[in-house]
Structure 1
Amino acid sequence: MDKKAKIVQASIEVFKEKGIEKTKIADIAQKAGIAHGTFYLYFPSKLSVMPAIAEQIVLQFMNKIEATVSIEDPLQKQLNQLVDAIFQVTEEFRDVSVLIYAGLSTTAHMSQWETIYTPLYDLVASLLETNKNRQLVRETIDPAHTAKLVIGLIESAAEQVYLYAAYNVQNEANQKAELLTFLEHALRP
């Protein structure tokens, strides 16, 4: 693992342990096993690490989607695979997601959010375009715009299950079922 990756991983761990406000750069450097000054070679402040953490989560979303969504499957199954992938990553990174939202929303780094998510949007747009060509989704959809809506909707639904309230398995099942019904009706020809 290179130094930048060590700093990002250490930041996640220290932020989870101490919270953003109480974390000092010295804490992150110590956890990463680097000199205090080395931190500044990669990041100008502790909050500037947030976009790098968000990039790691987006990468996890993409890896999970690429591993689980089969473009040859019927649309309903693809949507189920997509929802499951995003729910799984959101659950896995729920503690970190809260930190990222808090850290990015209180700084100028929030403007980077769209750039960070662009590869994920592009991946889902590609899936939609392929399904449009297969005539499994409406021919009138714009894959690029619809991808943003789909990701936003699924991610928001997953956050409602894992971040905003105490986890409940029945709530998760109900949320996924409603979400899948909504998506299928919104996308079908």
Structure 2
Amino acid sequence: MTNNHAPEDADTATLSVEETQPPVPSKRRLESRRRILAAARQLFVERGYHGTRPQDISKAAGVGHGTFYLHFADKLECFLAFAEEASAELEKFAEEHHSDVHSLEEGIREVLKAVFEYSEENPGVLAAALTDINVLAVDETDKVMPVDRWAEQWASTIQEWADKGVVAPDTDPMFAGHVLVGMIRQGGAYAYRVGLEPEETLEKLTRSIVRSLTTTP
């Protein structure tokens, strides 16, 4: 017996799938977003978050002010997109350095090398991307900030070594991850102010971090 409804049912199913699929962004839309993010990156580095306005970003990107809001709800959303991009770049650097390490100290040193290398190739980007949430918007505490993502990456590394029995057993990986981010930011800032050589800074930070993770009372 022939099923005369099969083709119609198939067409309906196809239409249903097509209707539920999100539209693919046009090349023009993708290009305008890329230009906005590139301009935002430059301005956030040069002027900081509060010194940058959406209209400044639009002007630097060469797009209409309304185009900015086609891509981002507000400046904070644009900043988070920039910061996420920078975080992904840094994560890639770190993965390349961390691919073949055999000890906690070696692993930490290699990740720090990646941080230094990224900072040298992208001056000011990391400092801008890691701006604290409290500086940006007090009411936006539900947002996941890049500094939190970086701390989570450190926490994952710490947990790996904890599972191997290298890290002190009473270490809280997530808490330690946030502490390490603070050590790197403040230690790096101090080293820059007093003119420490990069290699000396790297060694001092590595030793400080290793001791904080392996020393037990």
TM-score normalised by length of structure 1:
0.75
User: 2-side partners of 1:86 and 1:43: how far apart?
Assistant: 29
Question: Equivalent pairs: percent with the same residue?
Answer: 22
Q: Summarize deviations over 1:41-71 as a string: whole Å, max 9, x none.
A: 2334446532222222222221111111136
Instruction: After TM superposition, give the deviation of residue 121 of structure 1 in Å.
Output: 2.4
Gaps of at least 5 residues in structure 1 are none
Higher helix share: 1
Relative contact order, CA 8 A, sep 6+: which one is greater? 1
Q: CA RMSD in A?
A: 3.3
C-alpha displacement of 1:95: 2.6
Q: Which runs of 5+ in 2 are unaligned?
A: 1-26
Structure 2: how far apart are the matches of 1:52 and 1:161? Answer: 29
| Number of aligned positions between the proteins | 185
- Give the aligned partner of residue 158 of structure 2: 128
Partner of 1:187: 213
> What is the aligned partner in structure 1 of residue 198 from structure 2?
172
Pair 77,99 (structure 1): closer, same or farther in 2 beyond 3 Å: closer
State the TM-score, normalizing by the size of structure 2: 0.67
For the residue of structure 2 that corresponds to 1:135, the secondary structure is coil
Structure (1 or 2) with the larger CA radius of gyration = 2
Structure 1 position 186, deviation (Å): 1.5
Can you list the C-alpha shifts for 1:7-37, whole angstroms capped at 9, x where unaligned?
1211223455677677554442243243221
Structure-2 residue corresponding to 1:75: 104
Shift in alpha-carbon separation, 1:40–1:178, aligned structure 2, 3 A: same
The aligned counterpart of 1:138 is 168
The residue correspondences of 1:152-171 to structure 2 (distance < 5 A) are: 152-162=182-192, 165=193, 168=195, 170-171=196-197
